[in-house]
Structure 1
Amino acid sequence: MSLAGEERKKIILDRLNGNGKVKTSELVETLQVSSETIRRYLEELERDNRLKRVYGGAIKTGYDQEEPSHLTREVAHADEKKRIARTAANLVQDNDVLLIDDGTTTMHMLPYLRSRKNLCLITISVPALNLLLEYQNQGLWSGDVYFLGGKVQARHFRSVGMHAERMMTDFFIDKSFLAIDGVQLEYGISSYDAEKALLARRFIENAKETIVLSDHSKIGVSTFYKVADLRETEIVVSDVHPPEEWANKLEATGVNWIVAE
């Protein structure tokens, strides 16, 4: 393919990463080529597993309407999640009160927190609770642990619902580490699950600082339930830089985007 063709495909991917989807008609106007040429680019990118074609355009690979199970999420992008978790853990200081959301990325933070002193940790994650109890019984963790009890979602190994929300009203936290399902510039951060989204809003409201953990597969994606606008968070930790067209808006809203090393 010509250099111009490769540059056009890069533009398509940049727009896809920023918006989660692209429309053939808009790409025809932007790139000033025929719809047949756009379809050929999309076919080639789909063969490379860079996107998924749909009627009228394309969406990001992995863009779905149902939240994968905890066991499925556990193995997806594992290396990237570990790097994100290590970088996020560096934001924690001694004596912090933390909310550790459920999720496989936040779960990876726990080994890096064992050296911190006098932490208080609140979670809805059953695997996180089990690991912390194991650390305590082995003498590897000396901080306090609180579990927000509520309706148990067995597929996701977490508690949600009104009882967990009521319990959360009694806690005020220094840092809330959120695991989200999608992050999009205009729509904000989102979740597949309504009860989880409502609880996550409470996490943000009761925190001095909100840190969003997001690997590249969630950038540009908007799932079913909105949690909050990006401007309601302080930090995003990801394995990649934000799309170029997000830069000015992120700066204007004061969101600090940290790329994990």
Structure 2
Amino acid sequence: MSLVGEERKDTIMNMLNYAGKVRTNELVEKLQVSSETIRRYLEELENENQLKRVYGGAIKINYDREEPSHLTREVSRAEEKKRIGRAAASLVQDNDVLIIDDGTTTLHMIHFLMNRKNLKIITISVPALNILMDYVNKELFTGEIYFIGGKVQSKHFRTVGTLAEQMMQSFFVDKAFISIDGIMAQHGISSYDCDKAILGKRFIENSKENIVLADHSKIGVSTFYKVADLKKVDTVISDVAAPKEWKDELEAKGVNWIVAE
């Protein structure tokens, strides 16, 4: 494959990450090549397990049909998540009231908050609660902790459901650090779990500033339950830059994209 061909395939994948699907006629117009050439590119990308061909174009592959367990997520992309967590913690100021969502990426930010003063932290994450209580007992954290109760999802070490949502209605916060399962420029942020998505909506509605933490595996992915449009998000923190095709959409929706170093 020539360099031009590889660049065209990169363009196809960027378009796919943007919209979740591509159509052959759109690619013909975009790349100014024949439909036969486009079909060849799509066939090569399918052989590389980059996409799945369908009638009239191709769609993005999403191998995961359900949310992995907390223990599985904990060891996956740990270094990237640590960088994202550190970058997220840098946005926290003394006296902030925070939501720290369930998730192994949000969990990493807690370790970098110990020098902040007078924080109030709300969470649904049992591991986050355990870490915070341990820091309090060691006199490393002097803020206040609020745990949102509700239905326990043992596999994911968190609480969700109607009771959790009702309890969250009583809180308003400065910053919400949100974990997600997928993010797309057009479709917004999404979750595998209905209860988690509904609670995520409440977090976003009751926060002055919404910050999404997403490693590269979440980008260009749309899972079953929508949490919110991107216009509801103020900042995305990731280990990689946003796809080039997202630039205009992010600017139009006022989303700041931070690459964690």
Structure 2: gaps of 5 or more residues: none
Question: What is aligned with 1:129?
Answer: 129
Partner in structure 1 of residue 143 of structure 2: 143
CA distance in 1, matches of 2:62, 2:156: 18
Give the stretch that moved more between structures: 63-72 or 161-170: 63-72
1:201 aligns with 2:227: no
> Would you say 1:68 and 2:64 are equivalent positions?
no
Unaligned segments of structure 1, at least 5 residues: none
Contact 1:84 1:105 (8 Å CA) reproduced: yes
Equivalent residue number for residue 6 of structure 2: 6
Q: Is the 8 A contact 1:19 1:221 kept in 2?
A: no
Residue in 2 aligned with 1:82?
A: 82
| Residue pairs, 1:1-261, within 5 angstroms | 1-46=1-46, 48=48, 51-56=50-55, 57-60=57-60, 62-261=62-261
CA separation in 2, counterparts of 1:86 and 1:97?
Answer: 18
SS at match of 2:18: helix
Deviates more, 1:247-256 or 1:84-93: 247-256
2:52/2:61 contact within 8 Å kept: no
**Residues 100 and 122 in structure 1, CA contact (< 8 A), matched pair in contact too:** yes
Please tell me the residue identity of whatever aligns with 2:100: I
Question: In structure 1, the residue corresponding to 2:146 is in which secondary structure?
Answer: strand
Which region of structure 1 is more displaced relative to structure 2, 176-185 or 133-142?
A: 133-142
Shift in Å, 1:89: 0.6
Identity %: 67
Cα contact 1:62–1:217 (8 A) shared by 2 = no
Paired residues of 1:84 and 1:238 also in contact (CA < 8 A): yes
Give the paired residue count: 260
How many angstroms does 1:235 deviate by? 0.9
Deviation at 1:46, TM superposition (A): 4.7
2:46, 2:53 within 8 Å by CA — same for their partners in 1?
no
Distance 1:219 1:17 in 2: 7
**In structure 1, what residue type is equivalent to 2:138?**
Q
**TM-score, with structure 1 as normaliser:** 0.91
1:135/1:61 CA distance change after superposition, 3 Å:
farther
TM-score after normalising by structure 2 = 0.91
